Structures are given as C-alpha cells and as structure tokens.
Structure 1
Amino acid sequence: MKFLIVGLGSMGKRRIRCLKALGHGNVAGYDPRPDRREEAVAKYGVAVYGDFDQALCSFAPTALIISVPPDLHHHYMEIALERGIHFFVEASVVDTRMDLIKQKAAQSATVAAPSATLLYHPAIRLIGDLVRSGKLGRISNVMHHSGQYLPDWHTYEPVSAYYVSNPATGGGREIVPFELAWLTSIFGFPKRVCGNFRKTIQIEGAEGIDDTYNMLLDYGEFLATVTVDVVSRHATRRLLVNGELAQLVWDWDEACVRVFDPKKGDWETLPYSMGEAAPGYNANIGENMYIDEIQNFIDAMNGVRPFANTLETDHTVLKLLYAVEKSDQTSSFVGFLS
C-alpha cells in the first residue's frame, strides 16, 4: 500500500507517525508550504511534493490521508472518489458538497473513512460497553464537559495562523462534532435540541470565533447536557452518567472509569492505559488511539472489517451541530431526525 499524506501540518505529521508505527514505510507527503515539506523530510524521511497533481502521478497512491483544514476536505475527497483512491479524512465541521460526496461514495468501491478518533479512546470504549451492558440500568441524565485552551493547541504558531481562527472552522465549533461523534455512538441521536454558543473571552488571534457551546439534548426518555469550550486553562474531559442502577464518572486526568454501586455503597474503579503521548502533547492524548484508527482504515481497505465511522453518520453529527446553532439563533428547541 502507498499512502499520500495531504497536508503536512500537525495532523499530517501525526498520521505519518501512525503509519510508521504500524510498519508502513511507503509514505509520501504533499504540502504547498516548503517549510512543512522540509520538516517532514528531516523528521520522517518521506518523499514530499509541492504539487498535488505531480504527487498523484509520480507516487500513484493507494490511499489519501486528508489532513488539510476542514474547509478544504471536500476538494480532496472528490478527487479521491473520481480516481478510485481510498481515503481517510480528518474530523470536519463543515459539510460542503457532502450530499454529492455521499452519493458518489455509495456508488464506488472506494473506502471512505471519516475520522472519529475518540471512538478508539480506551475509556470511551469501556464506557460504551458499560452503558450497552445495562449495568447502569435505565439512563436518567448525562452531563459532559470538554474544555481546552485554544492557544495551547499549537504553541509554535499564533492562533491567527491556522484554521481555528476562521469562524466556520473555529476551534470551539470544531470540537463540538468531535465530542458528539462518540457521545452519539453510545447514546444515539436526540429527538430535539436546544443550545447557546458565544464568544466569551478575548483570545489573541481568535477575535472572530465562538469559544463556548452549551447544548441540551432531549432523548425523550433521558436528557443530556454537553458543554464544549476552548477557554479552559486546564484541558478537561469529564463525564457523568446517572442510571437507575448505578452512576458512572469519568475524568480523563484519573486514567480510570468509576462506577458507583448503591447496593455495595462503594465505587468500582476500572483503570485503562492511554499509552504514550507524542512530545509536546497533553499526556491524555496518547498516540495509540490515532494509530488504532489508521489500523481500522487499513483493515477496511483490506476487507477485514468496516471502518468505525461512515460519511452518513459523520454528516448526521454535523447536522446536530447545525441544529444547536439554529436553536440559539431562533431561541427555540429544534427537532432533530437522525
């Protein structure tokens, strides 16, 4: 297999590391920026191209790893489908031409793999198993907070230098579907939503983006509240699930999932291993889940197992984000049909 990394920014470099960790050496990279090409050569010894068409012709990839800003995803997905090249695409926040892309993908044998990295997080896998097992009983309510500080994402460049400063692909907005992808994989899609989103503080370079999203997801039988922000000075992921039989708590700083059993009057602690984080990254953002995700993509190309996410599901998650934004704009609940 031959993998062409489209975009050699932070995620493109991470995907090179993933492929190398899996023993795949036939990797090349494309990026119009000379500095990024030079860095990829120096760090990973891969062939690089400054012209995309030349990369396609000279390298003839089996698969594209699309790691460009979200508002450019559609361009490379369409090229991949036109040429019959399998593709993996990073998490998105915009759905430009997505209906057409889904239609083309459905008529093609090409593997289309939209990223959903947190599905591969060991804690989230464990939480999903616990909820589906019925150990918590009937779910009453779910509360989740995901918080980060936007300038901490790329400490080597200003926020204004990359896509998180663009209102359409802003840091806060982008993380909403990143979190909803795994939450909906466990709890499903709600019947209606309401929410608010705002710019709440001043972050240099992020003057035009909304930094906080609050969401209420109404499932009929139970409720979920989700807060996503990029103003938290300490990177945070905290989940609380109240069930009729037990309570589940996850704080990613503790490297365990805890379940309170009222019959025993005590907590059961279920530890997990996150694996090593790359230098410069939060210790809770281990490389293993990214490696596992790329392995799933490779397995899908080989017909071993399907990719965990689909374009249809990915698009539905984006529509959920848009429904939350519509709720704020109309000051009303918005019905949601998955």
Structure 2
Amino acid sequence: MKIIVIGLGSMGKRRIRLLSEHQNVEIYGIDSLESRCAEVKEKLGVECFGSIAEAVKLHSIDAAVISTSPLSHAAIIKECLTFNLHVFTEINLVQDGYNENTAFAKEKNLVLFLSSTFLYRKETQIIIEKVHKAKCLLNYIYHVGQYLPDWHPWESYNNYFIGNPKTNGCREIMAIDFPWLVTAFGPIKNVYVVKSKNTELNITYNDNYLITIEHENGAKGVFAVDVMARKPFRHIDIYGEQLQLFWDGTPNSLYEYNIDKKENENIPLSEASEHIDGYAEFITENPYREELNAFLKQIMDQTLIPAWDFERDKVVLDIIDKIEA
C-alpha cells in the first residue's frame, strides 16, 4: 500500500514514523516548504513532493494522511478524494466541508477516517468500559491545561494554528477530549460556561473555561480547560455510589477505589507506553499508532465501524461553538 503524508510538521513526522513500522506500506511526504521536504528526506528517508498531484502522477497512491493545519483540511480532503484516495485526517476543529466530503467519500466508496486519539488510549478505553458497566449515576471533574508557549517549545504559538482564534488551543483541547467523554458518559444535554482571558499571552481568545455539563442519561461533569497552567495538567475524578476512578493522564496513574477494602488500587495496562521527548508527560505514542492501524484495517474491510466519525464530530463541534459563543 502506498500512502502520502501531507504536512511534514511535528504531527506529519510522527505519522511517518508510525506508518514506517508497517513493512507493506510505502510512504511519501507532501509539503509546500522545500526545507521540510529536505529534512524528512534526510532524517526519515522518505521521498517528498511539493504537491499531491505531483506524487499521484508518479506513483499509484492508495491513501493519504492529512497532518496540515485544521483550516486547510476540507480542501485537501476533497482533493484526495478526487484522486480516489482513502483519507485519514487529523482533528479538524471546524466543520468546513463536513457534509460535502462525507457524501463524496460515500459516493466513491472511499474510507474517510477522522482522528480521535484519546479513544485509542488504553486508559480511556478502560474508563469507558467501567463507566458503561456502572449501576449508578456518575459525576466527574476533569481538568486539562498546559501553558500555550510550552505546547511546541521549538516554535512560537503564533506561528501555528493554536494561535488562531478559529482553531485556538482551548478549542483543540475540547475537540480532543469531548469525543471520549461523550463516548463514556453519553450525549450532552446542556452546557453552562464561565470563561475569561487571565494571562498576558499574545492571543485574542479566552484562555480558560469552566464548563458544567449535563448528559442525557443523568451524568454530570465539570470540565476545566485552559492554556495557562504552567505545569501540564490532565486529571479526572469520576465518582458515584458504586464506582470511583481517578486518572492523572499518564499510563501508570489510573486508579479505582476499592469500596470494600477502602483503598486505591492501580489499574495496570496490558502494554508498555511510548513517550517522545519534547511533549508533555501525558502524551504517549501508542494511541496515535492504534488509530493509524484502525485506518489501515478499515481500508481492507470497510464494514468495520470506526471509534469516531464526522457525523458525531459535527455534534461535538456544535457544542464547542456554543461554549465559545
């Protein structure tokens, strides 16, 4: 299988590294910046092109992974589908082209796969399973935050999409985490929001949100989102009459409170996790690998149901729009 990775920034390089683990996959890079193409060719040994059309002309490409900035996704997805390529796209943050591209992919019988990395984390999968099995109403308190300049220490936050109000850092956190929260606790009925800009960061959007969430099944949550926490923070407490879980965002930090023994018990994972230097401790490589594997499997068997899709994502993005309004 021949796959192009479009966008050779930090995420595109990650996707190339993970795809290279498959011996039956040939990888080609696409980026309009010659410097990025040169770097990827030198460091990763991947042939690169300046455009999709150029790569498709020279090679029989089967699929594309889109790792460019979110506002560019809709047009690139359409172009890839026009070339009869199966498509994996990073999270979009906006709904541009959702209806048109999903209909186009269905018409051409092509896979259109949407990244939702946290649905592929073992920790969140365990949480989802335990929440679904719980025989009581549940509440949760969840805080995710990291100081914006620390997201990519090697570049200014104003030089990539998190500096843009349309695709800002808080919005990205919400778009990353709401899919697994909704999968765990069910569709959202209502949200109530307090928000503000507390920092002196050079941004024109709110840098912190306190969101109270009502789910249709009676579960309730408080979701604190920010780009001002100087220590990277991801922590959730889930509690009810018969279940109590807490997780600090890292592979070894998921615990369940044993009600009978009245003590915390660590929930071990079945596999080791991989972490890349330069990212926060709670960002691991395994789920990025697993969602790419799911994409490749769906190409081979389109009856497989993905963990997330554009239809459900549209509902989540509508909620985020309401939160930011």
State the TM-score, normalizing by the size of structure 2: 0.93
Q: Distance in 2 between matches of 1:194 and 1:274?
A: 38
Aligned length, in residue pairs: 322
Task: Report the alpha carbon displacement of residue 230 of structure 1 after superposing the two structures with TM.
Answer: 1.4
SS in 2 for 1:197: strand
Contact 1:164 1:170 in 2 (8 A): yes
1:126 deviates by: 1.0
Instruction: List gaps (5 residues or longer) in structure 2.
Output: none
In 2, the alpha carbon distance for the partners of 1:283 and 1:242 equals 25
Partner of 1:308: 307
Amino acid aligned to 2:5: I
CA distance in 1, matches of 2:233, 2:23: 33
For the 8 Å contact 2:30–2:50, the answer to whether it is kept is yes
- C-alpha separation in 1, matches of 2:108 and 2:87: 12
Matching residue of 1:329: none
- Quick one: which of 190, 203, 207 aligns to 1:207? 203
Deviations for 1:127-160, whole angstroms, at most 9, x for unmatched residues? 11111222xx312311111111211121111112
Q: Check conservation: 1:218, 1:224, Cα contact below 8 A.
A: yes
Instruction: Check whether the contact 2:32–2:50 (CA below 8 A) recurs between aligned residues.
Output: yes
Distance in 2, matches of 1:16 and 1:24, equals: 14
Secondary structure of residue in 1 paired with 2:314 = helix
Q: Once the 2 structures are TM-superposed, how far is the Cα of residue 253 of structure 1 from its aligned partner?
A: 4.5
Query: If the length of structure 1 is used for normalisation, what is the TM-score?
Result: 0.90
RMSD: 1.8
Cα distance in 2, alignment partners of residues 61 and 235 from structure 1 = 39
Partner of 2:225: 228
Structure 1 stretches of 4+ moved >6 Å: none
- Contact 2:102–2:112 (8 Å) recurs in 1: no
CA distance in 1, matches of 2:281, 2:22: 21
Q: In structure 2, give the amino acid aligned to 1:310.
A: D
Q: Percent identity?
A: 30
In 2, Cα distance between the equivalents of 1:159 and 1:321?
21
Q: In 2, Cα distance between the equivalents of 1:237 and 1:139?
A: 23
Aligned twin of 1:323? 322
1:278 paired residue number: 276
Determine whether 1:269 maps to 2:266: yes
**Alignment correspondent of 1:104:** 104
Q: Distance in 1 between matches of 2:194 and 2:77?
A: 32
For 2:276 and 2:301, the matched residues in 1 are separated by 30
Structure 2: which amino acid aligns with 1:188? G
Instruction: For residues 69-106 of structure 1, give each alpha carbon's deviation from its aligned partner in whole angstroms, at most 9, with x where no partner exists.
Output: 00011011112223321000001211112222232233
State the 1:222 CA deviation. Answer: 2.5
Q: Could you tell me how far 1:60 is from its partner in structure 2?
A: 3.2
Alignment of 1:82-101 (within 5 A): 82-101=82-101
Rounded Cα–Cα distance in structure 1 between residues aligned with 2:286 and 2:77: 25
Q: Please name the residue that 2:77 is paired with.
A: 77
> CA–CA distance in 1 between the matches of 2:307 and 2:250?
26
Deviations 1:205-261 (A, max 9, x none): x42233222211112523111111111111111111112212111112471321123
Asked if 2 retains the 8 angstrom alpha-carbon contact of 1:120 and 1:293, the reply is yes
Give the whole-Å Cα distance in 2 for the aligned partners of 1:268 and 1:63: 43
Residue 165 (structure 2) pairs with residue 159 (structure 1): no
Q: Which residue of 2 aligns with 1:334?
A: none
Tell me the equivalent position of 2:9.
9
Q: Distance in 1 between matches of 2:121 and 2:152?
A: 22
Q: Tell me what 1:18 maps to.
A: 18
Do 2:64 and 2:80's aligned partners in 1 also have CA atoms closer than 8 Å? yes
Q: Which amino acid aligns with 2:313?
A: D
> Post-superposition shift, 1:30?
0.7
Q: Say if 2:66 and 2:90, in contact at 8 Å, map to a contact too.
A: yes
| Rounded Cα–Cα distance in structure 1 between residues aligned with 2:8 and 2:131 | 38
Q: Deviations over 1:263-317 (max 9, x none)?
A: 3322222122551212322333221111111000000001073322111112121
The CA deviation at 1:21 is 2.2
Does the CA contact (< 8 Å) of 2:117 and 2:291 recur in 1? Answer: yes
Distance 1:86 1:286 in 2: 26
Match in the other structure for 1:194: 192
The residue aligned with 1:257 is: 254
